[in-house]
């Protein structure tokens, strides 16, 4: 059984060297599907002997890029362990090798592997500990390919599909002691632009503004997020990239400005994307006023006040009980 990493890439030069070095330390093959990057990502791939590069003829959403990666992995014989990762995720190679060795008897074909997913927050030495979405949680990261499992390939435009091909999987096992470190939220500007891109993409494809805003509300900046220090074992053998790229415009920002040209900035007004100064300033410049996003998904102020009061009372009662 080989370990084969599957990595979709679109302009990830800021972190790609670190990612490929990490993957090369525990994988036999690293397959990259590049989505027409223009930042040197393809050239970086050429520096790593284990990397096999597939260049997409057109830029695809991540969901479809993963289909190509799965098909490419099946050019290799056997029921291999497929490590389905993103470029902005790092993991200590020694921890992966140890976890695979301990679980080898359970790694039969058709088995999905759940790992502990960790969001680094505020720096490489801190991770978020609160919230169901951004606190530590188990996430499907890998699968032992039985050469029959697949993605649901009928959902051509969906951007919320599982990263692991789980259709037809037989069972799942948990590697509780294997943390995967997600770096996305360390790039605040680029991450918020990408979340704005997701909102606009769904809106263009027929989504309702209020429903989209509610779905993405958790991604809005949270100044009260709670964090904890990253244990040393989690980063053994891991190198981290510079975050200077966050000062530069991203592909998502370029796409958004192009969509403003194609559909007018007013088309996107109902979306909750205007907390980004670059987008808000563009709206004001083009319309002469501030945007008014659709926040109808939020409870009215009296209901919010009552809910807040109930939480305070409940917290006081819990403290008095001890």
Q: Is the pLDDT of residue 145 over 50?
A: yes
Inter-residue contact 177 to 231 (CB < 8 Å): no
pLDDT band at 158 (very low <50, low <70, confident <90, very high): low
Q: Give me the mean pLDDT over the 118-128 stretch.
A: 97
Q: What is the pLDDT of residue 157?
A: 66
Run of H or E including 140: strand 137-144
Q: Give me the mean pLDDT over the 248-253 stretch.
A: 92
Q: Give me the mean pLDDT over the 250-254 stretch.
A: 93
Per-residue pLDDT of 193-219, as tens digits, reads 999 999 999 999 999 999 999 999 999
Inter-residue contact 271 to 199 (CB < 8 Å): yes
Distances (CA, A) of 91 to 8, 99, 110, 182, 293: 17, 12, 23, 9, 38
pLDDT band at 121 (very low <50, low <70, confident <90, very high): very high
Q: Is the pLDDT of residue 322 over 70?
A: no
Q: Is the pLDDT of residue 306 over 60?
A: no
Q: Which range scores top for mean pLDDT: 24-28, 128-132, 219-223?
A: 24-28
pLDDT band at 138 (very low <50, low <70, confident <90, very high): very high
Residue 218 has a CB neighbour count (10 Å cut-off) of: 12
Burial class of residue 159 (count of CB atoms within 10 Å of its CB; 0-12, 13-18, 19+): middle
Q: Give me the mean pLDDT over the 252-264 stretch.
A: 96
List alpha helices for the chain, DSSP H.
13-24, 41-45, 62-73, 93-102, 188-204, 209-216, 251-263, 277-287, 301-320
Q: Beta strand 111-119 with 89-90: parallel, antiparallel or unpaired?
A: unpaired
Q: pTM for this structure?
A: 0.84
Residue 183 has a CB neighbour count (10 Å cut-off) of: 22
Q: Rounded CA gap, 57 and 77, in Å?
A: 26
Per-residue pLDDT of 12-29, as tens digits, reads 999 999 999 999 999 999
Distances (CA, A) of 186 to 35, 54, 83, 222, 321: 23, 28, 23, 13, 39
Per-residue pLDDT of 57-114, as tens digits, reads 777 777 788 989 999 999 999 999 999 999 999 999 999 999 999 999 999 999 999 9
Task: Give 21-80 as a DSSP string.
Answer: HHHHTT-SEEEEEE----SSHHHHHTT-TTEEEEE-SS---HHHHHHHHHHHHTTS-S-P
Angle at 90 between CA 96 and CA 17, to 5 degrees: 115
Average pLDDT of the residues of the chain: 90
Q: Give me the mean pLDDT over the 169-177 stretch.
A: 90
Closest CA to 103 of 26, 177, 175: 175
Q: Rounded CA gap, 281 and 276, in Å?
A: 9
Q: Given 1.10.3470, 3.90.550, 3.30.70, 1.10.1760, which CATH number is that of 3-115+138-180?
A: 3.90.550
Q: Rounded CA gap, 305 and 310, in Å?
A: 9
Q: How far apart are the first and last CA of the chain?
A: 53
The residue that leads in pLDDT, 163 or 311, is 163
The residue that leads in pLDDT, 153 or 296, is 296
Inter-residue contact 73 to 1 (CB < 8 Å): no
């Amino acid at each position: 059984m080989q370990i084969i990493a599957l990595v979709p890439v679109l302009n990830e030069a800021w972190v790609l060297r670190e990612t490929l070095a990490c993957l090369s330390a525990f994988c036999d093959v690293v397959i990259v599907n590049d989505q027409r990057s223009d930042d040197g990502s393809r050239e970086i791939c050429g520096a790593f002997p284990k990397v096999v590069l597939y260049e997409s003829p057109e830029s695809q959403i991540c969901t479809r890029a993963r289909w190509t990666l799965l098909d490419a992995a099946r050019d290799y014989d056997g029921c291999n362990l497929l490590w389905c990762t993103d470029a902005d995720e790092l993991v200590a190679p020694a921890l992966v090798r140890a976890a695979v060795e301990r679980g080898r008897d359970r790694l039969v074909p058709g088995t999905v592997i759940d790992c502990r997913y960790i969001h680094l927050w505020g720096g490489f030495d801190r991770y978020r500990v609160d919230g169901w979405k951004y606190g530590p949680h188990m996430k499907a990261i890998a699968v032992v390919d039985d050469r029959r499992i697949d993605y649901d390939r009928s959902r051509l435009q969906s951007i919320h599909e599982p990263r692991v091909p789980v259709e037809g999987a037989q069972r799942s096992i948990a590697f509780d002691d294997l943390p995967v470190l997600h770096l996305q939220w360390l790039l605040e500007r680029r991450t918020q632009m990408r979340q704005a891109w997701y909102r606009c993409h769904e809106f263009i494809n027929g989504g309702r503004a209020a429903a989209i805003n509610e779905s993405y509300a958790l991604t809005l900046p949270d100044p009260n997020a709670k964090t904890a220090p990253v244990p040393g074992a989690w980063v053994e053998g891991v190198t981290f990239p510079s975050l200077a790229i966050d000062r530069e415009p991203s592909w998502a920002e370029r796409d958004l400005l192009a969509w403003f040209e194609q559909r007018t900035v007013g088309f996107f007004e109902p979306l909750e994307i205007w907390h980004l100064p670059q987008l808000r300033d563009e709206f004001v410049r083009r319309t002469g006023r501030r945007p008014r996003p659709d926040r109808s998904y939020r409870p009215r102020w009296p209901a919010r006040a009552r809910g807040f009061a109930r939480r305070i009372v409940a917290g006081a009662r819990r403290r008095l009980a001890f």
